[in-house]
Structure 1
Amino acid sequence: MMEQGKAKRHEVKMLNRKLLEISGVVNLESFDSEEFLLETECGFLTITGQNLHIKNLILEQGLVAIEGMVHSLSYLDGHTQDKTKGFLGKLFK
């Protein structure tokens, strides 16, 4: 019963662009040495870089650690698409 009221929590910690520790991970969608796609409590997160690899993965706890040279972190925000659909929906009513 406590888990139903549990607040969503998502954290990203980076050390020297070489180590990422991420909490609040729901699923590891795909990965290779240049790109990771994670589903988090706050949306999909894309990580790009070089020589990326998983250091630690505990999906039951929502934890992922990634090593390698990190170039970018980017959230794929579905809310932007919803607003666009809403605007187009109003326009074509």
Structure 2
Amino acid sequence: MEERPQREHKILLLNREHLKVSGVEDVDSFDSEEFLLNTDYGYLNIRGQNLHIKNLNVSQGEVEITGLIKDISYLNDGYSTERAKGFFGRLFK
């Protein structure tokens, strides 16, 4: 069993228009309809409309996104990102 990361991971969604995420390692990709965040607990996919980064502080692991949030989902089920990296490696070959 893998150890959990030390940093706390939180997701706060206000009125489906303002999303705050902590425990973010990196923003892998983004556009106005989709964000892919690499978090301490796996890849987090955010989909919606007119999405924009309001605040990004990678050193503190925090991201704020505004726009209409339609879907939030993890792309892997564990704390390791290796399976997700393998998935994206196959997807973008």
TM bucket normalised to smaller: 0.7 to 0.9
- TM-score, normalised with respect to structure 2: 0.76
| Mapped pair 1:22 → 2:21 | yes
Where does residue 58 of structure 2 map in the other structure? 59
The structure with the largest helix share of the pair is: 1
Unaligned runs of 5+ in 2: 84-93
Q: What are the equivalent positions in structure 2 for 1:22-61 lying under 5 Å apart?
A: 22-61=21-60
1:15-59: CA deviation from partner (whole Å, max 9, x where unpaired)? 000000000000000000000000001000000000000000000
Aligned-residue sequence identity (percent) comes to 51
What residue in structure 2 maps to residue 8 of structure 1? 7
What RMSD, in angstroms, separates the aligned Cα atoms of the two structures?
1.5
Please tell me the residue identity of whatever aligns with 1:21: K
Moved over 3 A (4+): none
Count of residues in correspondence between the two structures:
75
Residue 91 (structure 2) aligns with: none
Larger Cα-atom Rg: 1
Distance in 1 of aligned mates of 2:69 and 2:77: 24
Query: Partners of 2:41 and 2:59 in 1: how far apart?
Result: 17
Gaps of 5+ in 1: 1-5, 83-93
